[in-house]
Structure 1
Amino acid sequence: MSSKEMTLNAAATPLRHRLFDFLYKWGMLITVALLIAGFGLASDSFLEPNNIINILRSIAIVTVIAVGVSVSLTVGGFDLSVGSTASLANALVISLFVWYGMNSVEAIALTLALCTLIGLFNAFLIVILRIPDMLATLATLFIIQGVAMTYSFGGSITENMVMPSGDMAEGAIPAGFGLLGQVPVIVIIMLVVTAAAQLALSLTTHGRRMYALGGNPEAARLSGIRTTRYRVLAYVIASLLAGLGGILLASRIGSSQVNAGGGYLMDAVAAAWIGLSLAGSGKPNALGTLVGAVLLGVLQNGLVMLSVPYYAMDIIKGLVLALALAMTYVQRR
C-alpha cells in the first residue's frame, strides 16, 4: 500500500466514526424530521394546526405510560404490566363516578392509590421472590387484566348503564373530569410528567442512584445505595404513571372499555426503548421517550392521512422503526 493510500484511509476512518457518532446521537431526531417533511409533502393537510393538535393528543397517553416504563428501565428492570394497569385504572375511575357517585378528586386519588398497590405487588415478586422482572410483570399483566375484566363484569362501564342486578347506575361523570383528556390540558400533563421525570433522573441524587443501580447493581449495593428501596420506588412510579395514563384515557373517551389500555403497551415500550439513544445518552430518559412517542404518533397519523390500509400499517411502522433504530444503534467497526 502506498503512502498516499495510507493517508486517505487514515483520514476516512475518523470521518466514518464521526458519522456513526452523529447518527447515534441524533438519528432519532433526523428520522422524526424526515417523516414530518415526507408526510407534509405527501399530504396538504398534514401540517395543519388541527392535525398537529391531533398528533399531540394521540401521543399524550402513550408518553405518560412510556415514561413509567423508562423509570423501570433505569434500575435495570422492565414493566410489562403497564397496559393492564392502565385498563384497570380506566375501569376504576369511571366506576367510582358511575357506581358510587364520587367527585373527581376522590376518584382519581383512590384510583392512583390502588395503582400504587400494583407497583408494590410487582416489587414483591421481583425484589422479594426474585422472579425475573419480565416474567413477573408478564404474570401481573394477566392478573390485572383479569381483575379489570372481572370488576367491570366483562363489559363497558358507562353512565346510565344497567347493572347485573337489573338496577340502573345513577352516578354521573363530572364535567370537569372530561377536561383532563382534552387539549391543551392533556398535552400540558404530558409535558409536566416528562419534564419532572427528566429533571428528577438527571439532576437529583435519587435519579443518579437509580442509574447507578441499573448500570451495575452489585457496585451500587457496595457503595451504600439502598438498592431494594430504589427498585421498589421504580415499579411504584411505573404503576402510578400507567394509572395516570388510564385516567387520562377515561377522561378522553368518557367511559371504560374492555382492556382499553392494552393497546398502549407496545407503543409505550417502543417509545421507552427508542428514547435510550437520544443525544447518545445510552440510558433511559424521559425526553428521549417523548421523542420516541412523537415518532410513533407522526408515523401513525401520516399513514392514516395517506389512506394506507390498516392491515399494512404494522409493516410500514415496523420498517421505519427498524430504520430509525439502525441509524442509532449501528456499531462502529
Structure 2
Amino acid sequence: MKAANVSSRKGFDFIEFLYKYGTLITIVLLIAFFGVVTDNFLTQSNIITILRNISITTIIAIGLTLSLSVGGFDLSVGSTASLANAVVISMFVWYSQNIVVSILVVLILCALVGVINGFLVTSFKIQDMLMTLATMFIIQGVAQTYTRGATISQNMIMPSGDYAPGSIPAVFGALGKEPWLIIIMFVAVLLVHLLLNHTKYGRYMYMIGGNPEAAKLSGIQVRKYRFIAYVLAALFAGIGGMILAARVMTAEVNAGSPYLMNAVAAAFIGYSVLGSGKPNAFGTLIGAVLIGILQNGLVMISVPYYATDIVKGAVLALALGITYYKRKH
C-alpha cells in the first residue's frame, strides 16, 4: 500500500506538466484576464488584429526555426527582412517593374544571402550566432546604402529632383491586408511543419541539430542540410519583409530589424509547447500568439509601450528556464 502511494506521488511531475502545457495555459489565462479587464479584447476585430500583428513575426520566426533545427542560429533574419522590404518597394517605385519580376528579384537576392550565410557557417566552422551577427551588420549596411538611409515611397523625390516614376500595384498591397497575410502565415507554418515532421529531410535536420557527429556517422550530409537550412531561413525572412512592405506600402530604414527579437522569442518559446523540446513550426506559431496577446492586451490596459519588452523578456526567460531544466534532468 505504501509503495503504491509513493508510486502515485511520483506519477505527477509538476515541472513536466508546466513544460508540456505551460505555454498553452498561459495563453488561456491571458485571454481570460484581458477579456475581463477590457471591453474589446475578445471581439472578432481584435482577434483579427492580433493575427495580423503576429503574421510577419511568425513568418520570419519560421525561417529562424529552420536554422535552429540544424543546431544553428540565424541572427541576420531581421536585416534580411529589411533588405527585402527595401528592394521590393524600390523595384516598383524606382524601376516601374511588375509584381512578378519584383518578387522574383527579392527571392533571388534573399536566397543569395542564405547562400552566403550557409557557406560562411559551414566552411569556416565559426559559431553560427557569431557568424550571422557579422552578416547581420553587413546586410543592414547594404540595405541602408541601397536606400541612402531614406524612406522609399510612391511619388518620392529622386536625387535628380523628379518624382519617382513607378507605383505600387494594388494587388501587392492586398497581400499586406487580411485575410491574405494571415493565410500566408498559416501556409508557411504548415509547410515547415510538414517538412520537419513528415519528411526524411526534416528527420535529418533534427538529427543534425541533436548530434551532428552522430548524424555524420550515419551518412547524413551535415554541411548540405545546414546550408539548405540557412537558405530557407533567408527566404522566409525575405517573404516576411515583402509582406511588411505590402502592409505599410513604404520601405523604412531597417524596418525588419525590430522583428528579430520577437521572432527569437517565438521560436524559443515554441520549444516547450506540448513538451516538444526542439524547434518546431507549431510551437513557433504558439509562441508568436503568446507574444501577440501580451502586446495587444498590455496596450489595451494602457501599459506604456516601452514596458512591454520587460514582460516579453520575462516570458522568454521562463520558457527557456523550463526548457533547459528539462534537458538537464
Q: 1:294 aligns with which of 289, 292, 295?
A: 289
| Contact 2:268 2:320 survives alignment (8 Å) | no
| Contact 1:209 1:225 survives alignment (8 Å) | yes
1:255 equivalent to 2:247? Answer no
1:272 Cα deviation after fit: 0.6
1:207 equivalent to 2:202? Answer yes
Provide closer, same or farther for how the CA distance between residues 329 and 227 of structure 1 changes in structure 2, counting only shifts above 3 A. closer
Unaligned runs of 5+ in 1: none
| Contact 1:74 1:214 survives alignment (8 Å) | yes
Aligned residue type for 1:195? L
The alignment partner of 1:159 has SS state of coil
TM-score normalized with structure 1 length: 0.94
1:100 equivalent to 2:100? Answer no
Give distance in 1, aligned partners of 2:36 and 2:319.
Answer: 20
Aligned to 1:23: 18
Give distance in 2, aligned partners of 1:221 and 1:311.
Answer: 46
| Contact 2:268 2:319 survives alignment (8 Å) | no
Give distance in 2, aligned partners of 1:210 and 1:321.
Answer: 24
The alignment partner of 2:170 has SS state of coil
1:41-120 → structure 2 map (5 Å cutoff): 41-120=36-115
Aligned residue type for 2:240? G
The alignment partner of 1:176 has SS state of helix
1:258-297 → structure 2 map (5 Å cutoff): 258-297=253-292
1:221 equivalent to 2:192? Answer no
1:128 Cα deviation after fit: 1.1
Aligned residue type for 1:13? K
1:11 Cα deviation after fit: 3.6
Q: 2:10 aligns with which of 5, 10, 13?
A: 13
> How many pairs were matched up?
328
Give distance in 2, aligned partners of 1:30 and 1:328.
Answer: 16
Aligned residue type for 1:175? A
Give distance in 2, aligned partners of 1:202 and 1:9.
Answer: 37
Give distance in 2, aligned partners of 1:229 and 1:218.
Answer: 14
Aligned to 2:157: 162
Unaligned runs of 5+ in 2: none
TM-score normalized with structure 2 length: 0.96
1:330 Cα deviation after fit: 4.5
CA root-mean-square deviation: 1.7
Aligned to 2:308: 313
The alignment partner of 1:115 has SS state of helix
1:305 Cα deviation after fit: 0.4
Q: 1:126 aligns with which of 113, 121, 140?
A: 121
